[in-house]
């Protein structure tokens, strides 16, 4: 058992000091306090070699599938989320690697007549974890509904997310402050949710009531943007540029002036199929990217339609196209989470993590790891990268 995951407390020694006398003294005596519930549980021999974190939560260690044998990964069983450690911005050890936010309802499906605790465990919560599968943290449970989208600020402090509210009946858009543990409601409607953070985390763009808005963190001021202003569900602001991964490609704007700098995608005017793409809706929908991702610096973007996968370099405007074929080995699958420089990629699933170190030409199968990191509850999805520049963007430490 890896001692790194043995979360046991050191027993404090209590010294009883006698009074000093001229000719005699009383020796100090060490009294060991009774063992905690967690210590007693971890003294037992378990068939699955579990290690308890609290009396209701424990960790299993399992070997990951992949190109490197013998890599052990933790799988988390959380039966009491309230007892699990929360994300702590002051803990530097949590931020030595990139991390992902994800949604997870850690409990089983329950009926309306179930206990309050069972219902709470079955609800969505937002969690985070390092890209090597360690340091699971509860980010927020300050809501009641199904999470739709999450986006973390570049300084790691703020989480923008939306959820289908069980109280309002709409889609609530919220900014959660990890440091103060306070939530701010931005809007409530039945429409689509989009968020985009400023490079310095000072403001946030969001969509509400079919309009685009700007929310300033310091003042709490909300301003409606002009109709010709654009951003998307997947994008990033970096180096003074706003990268928008649209339905059919990438559009780049100057963030200060909102000038459109360039756009590209597939097909372009020089491609043979372009005329059909423009005229025929059925052709166009074959290229509509339903799944998309972008690297933290905006250099690389990825998209997946019903028939194709696209890998795009925003510096060179080069687009790699792959037709989806279940009989052939894919080179651009599982790119839902793009790391810095697209050195690493990761699938969107959080229950079963699938992670790759890409080849030099940015294709799969240089190195793979696949492991189940969630061992309780019924679903964990919507992985989204943050703290992406840590460890030079590498998802694991060298040699691990």
Q: Is 26 inside any structural domain?
A: no
Res 63 pLDDT > 70: yes
Q: Is 197 inside any structural domain?
A: yes
Res 237 pLDDT > 70: yes
In the structure encoding, which two tokens stand for residue 263, read together? 């756009």
Instruction: Give the mean pLDDT of the chain.
Output: 91
Q: Which domain holds residue 167?
A: 38-393
Q: What are 184-211's pLDDT values in tens digits?
A: 999 998 778 999 999 999 999 999 998 9
Q: Is 377 inside any structural domain?
A: yes
Nearest Cα to Cα of residue 176 among 192, 193, 153: 153
Backbone conformation region of residue 121, classed left if phi is above 0, alpha if psi is from -120 to 50, else beta: alpha
pTM listed for this prediction: 0.89
The alpha carbon of 239 is separated from its chain's Cα centroid by a whole number of angstroms, namely 23
Cα–Cα distance, 395 to 340 (Å, whole number): 9
Cα–Cα distance, 60 to 49 (Å, whole number): 7
Please report, for the domain that includes residue 336, its CATH number. Answer: 2.120.10.30
For the segment 99-106, the average pLDDT, to the nearest whole number, is 97
pLDDT band at 28 (very low <50, low <70, confident <90, very high): low
Nearest Cα to Cα of residue 164 among 191, 139, 186, 201: 191
Determine the pLDDT at residue 29. Answer: 63
Q: What are 347-395's pLDDT values in tens digits?
A: 999 999 999 999 999 998 788 999 999 999 989 999 999 999 999 999 9
Determine the pLDDT at residue 59. Answer: 98
Q: Is 281 inside any structural domain?
A: yes
pLDDT band at 20 (very low <50, low <70, confident <90, very high): very low
Res 285 pLDDT > 90: yes
Backbone conformation region of residue 85, classed left if phi is above 0, alpha if psi is from -120 to 50, else beta: beta
Res 279 pLDDT > 80: yes
Determine the pLDDT at residue 398. Answer: 82
Portion of the chain with pLDDT greater than 90, in percent = 82
Domain count, the chain: 1
Cα–Cα distance, 217 to 203 (Å, whole number): 6
Residue-wise DSSP of 301-353? EEEE-SSEEEEEETTTTEEEEEE--TTS--SS-S-SEE-GGGSEEE-S-SSEE
Q: What are 316-328's pLDDT values in tens digits?
A: 999 999 999 999 9
Q: How many CA atoms lie within 13 A of 118 on its CB side?
A: 8
Inter-residue contact 182 to 114 (CB < 8 Å): no
For the segment 217-236, the average pLDDT, to the nearest whole number, is 96
Residues forming a β-bridge with 356: 345, 368
Q: Is 250 inside any structural domain?
A: yes
Sheet of 72-78, strands arranged across: 51-54, 57-63, 72-78
pLDDT band at 21 (very low <50, low <70, confident <90, very high): very low
Backbone conformation region of residue 23, classed left if phi is above 0, alpha if psi is from -120 to 50, else beta: alpha
Determine the pLDDT at residue 400. Answer: 65
Q: Is 21 inside any structural domain?
A: no
Determine the pLDDT at residue 192. Answer: 81
Inter-residue contact 115 to 107 (CB < 8 Å): no
Res 16 pLDDT > 60: no
User: Which carries the bigger pLDDT value, residue 13 or residue 391?
Assistant: 391
pLDDT band at 11 (very low <50, low <70, confident <90, very high): very low
Cα–Cα distance, 100 to 309 (Å, whole number): 23
The count of other CB atoms within 10 Å of the CB of residue 392 is: 10
Handedness of CA 323, 325, 331, 337 (dihedral sign): positive
Cα–Cα distance, 165 to 144 (Å, whole number): 6
Q: What are 286-343's pLDDT values in tens digits?
A: 999 999 999 999 999 999 999 999 999 999 999 999 999 999 989 999 999 999 999 9
Determine the pLDDT at residue 6. Answer: 38
Q: Is 289 inside any structural domain?
A: yes
For the segment 102-115, the average pLDDT, to the nearest whole number, is 92
Determine the pLDDT at residue 169. Answer: 79
CA angle, 102 as apex, 91 and 195 as ends, to 5°? 95
Q: What are 113-146's pLDDT values in tens digits?
A: 899 999 999 999 999 999 999 999 999 999 999 9
Backbone conformation region of residue 133, classed left if phi is above 0, alpha if psi is from -120 to 50, else beta: left
In the structure encoding, which two tokens stand for residue 163, read together? 């959820």
Q: Is 93 inside any structural domain?
A: yes
């Amino acid at each position: 058992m890896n001692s790194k995951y043995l979360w046991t407390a050191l027993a404090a020694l209590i010294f009883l000091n006698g009074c000093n006398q001229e000719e005699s003294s009383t020796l100090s005596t060490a009294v060991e306090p009774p063992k905690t519930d967690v210590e007693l549980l971890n003294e037992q021999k378990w068939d699955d070699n579990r290690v308890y974190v609290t009396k209701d939560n424990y960790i299993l260690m399992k070997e990951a599938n992949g190109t490197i044998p013998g890599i052990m990964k933790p799988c988390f069983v959380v039966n009491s989320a309230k007892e699990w450690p929360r994300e702590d911005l002051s803990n530097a050890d949590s931020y030595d690697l990139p991390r992902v936010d994800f949604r997870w309802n850690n409990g089983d499906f329950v009926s309306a007549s179930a206990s309050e605790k069972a219902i709470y465990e079955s609800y969505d919560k937002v969690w985070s974890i390092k890209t090597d599968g360690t340091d699971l943290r509860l980010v927020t449970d300050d809501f009641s509904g199904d999470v739709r989208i999450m986006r973390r600020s570049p300084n790691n402090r703020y989480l923008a997310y939306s959820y289908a509210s069980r109280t309002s009946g709409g889609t609530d858009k919220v900014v959660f402050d990890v440091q103060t543990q306070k939530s701010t409601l931005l809007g409530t409607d039945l429409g689509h949710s989009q968020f985009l953070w400023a490079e310095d985390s000072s403001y946030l763009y969001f969509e509400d009531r079919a309009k685009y808005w700007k929310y300033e963190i310091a003042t709490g001021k909300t301003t409606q943007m002009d109709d010709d202003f654009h951003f998307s569900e997947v994008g990033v602001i970096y180096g003074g540029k706003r990268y928008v991964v649209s339905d059919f490609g990438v559009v780049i704007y100057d963030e200060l002036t909102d000038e459109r700098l360039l756009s590209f995608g597939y097909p372009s005017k020089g491609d043979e199929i372009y005329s059909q793409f423009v005229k025929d809706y059925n052709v166009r929908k074959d290229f509509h990217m339903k799944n998309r991702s972008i690297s933290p610096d905006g250099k690389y973007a990825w998209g997946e339609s019903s028939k194709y996968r696209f890998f795009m370099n925003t510096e060179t405007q080069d687009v790699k196209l792959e037709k989806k074929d279940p009989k052939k080995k894919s080179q651009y699958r599982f790119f839902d989470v793009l790391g810095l420089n697209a050195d690493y990629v990761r699938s969107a699933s959080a229950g079963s993590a699938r992670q790759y170190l890409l080849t030099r030409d940015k294709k799969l199968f240089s190195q793979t790891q696949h492991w189940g990191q969630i061992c309780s509850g019924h679903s964990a999805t919507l992985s989204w990268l943050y703290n992406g520049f840590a460890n030079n963007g590498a998802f694991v430490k060298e040699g691990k």
